[in-house]
Amino acid sequence: MIKKKIEDNDLVEHLAALPEDGREVFLLHNDQVRVTALGATTLINQMRENHQLGPLETYVLGQAYLAAGLLSATVKGNDRIQLNIECGGPIGGVYVESWAVGAVRGYLKHNPIPLKAPLKSLDLNELYGPGFLSVSKLLEGHKAPFTGQTMMAYGDLAKDLALHYQQSEQTPTLFILSLHFDDQARVNGSGAIFLQAMPGCDEHILEELEKKAETLPSIGTYLSEGKSIRSYVEEQFASFGVRHLAHQPLAFSCPCSREQYTKYLKHLNTAEKQDILKNGPFPLELVCINCNTHYHWEKFELEHLLQETGGAHQ
Residues in the chain predicted with pLDDT less than 70, given as ranges, are 308-314
Is the distance from CB of 238 to CB of 247 less than 8 angstroms?
no
In this structure, the answer to whether residues 185 and 279 fall within a common structural domain is no
Q: What local confidence, expressed as pLDDT, does residue 214 receive? A: 93
Beta-strand pair 131-138/146-151:
antiparallel
Q: What local confidence, expressed as pLDDT, does residue 166 receive? A: 94
In this structure, the answer to whether residues 264 and 126 fall within a common structural domain is no
Q: What local confidence, expressed as pLDDT, does residue 314 receive? A: 38
Q: What local confidence, expressed as pLDDT, does residue 206 receive? A: 87
Q: What local confidence, expressed as pLDDT, does residue 312 receive? A: 41
In this structure, the answer to whether residues 140 and 284 fall within a common structural domain is no
In this structure, the answer to whether residues 76 and 142 fall within a common structural domain is yes
Q: Does residue 38 sit within a domain?
A: yes
In this structure, the answer to whether residues 227 and 121 fall within a common structural domain is yes
In this structure, the answer to whether residues 138 and 271 fall within a common structural domain is no
Tally of structural domains, the chain: 2
For the segment 114-167, what is each residue's pLDDT rounded down to a tens digit?
Answer: 998 888 888 999 999 999 999 999 999 998 999 999 999 999 999 999 999 999
Rounded Cα distance, 43 and 136, in Å: 22
Domain housing 72: 11-252
End-to-end CA distance of the chain: 31
Biggest CA-to-CA distance, the chain: 70
Rounded Cα distance, 270 and 285, in Å: 19
Q: What local confidence, expressed as pLDDT, does residue 121 receive? A: 85
- In our burial notation (b when 16+ CB lie closer than 10 A, e otherwise), range 148-170 reads eebebeebbbbebbbbbbeeeee
In this structure, the answer to whether residues 245 and 267 fall within a common structural domain is no
In this structure, the answer to whether residues 170 and 149 fall within a common structural domain is yes
Rounded Cα distance, 266 and 158, in Å: 43
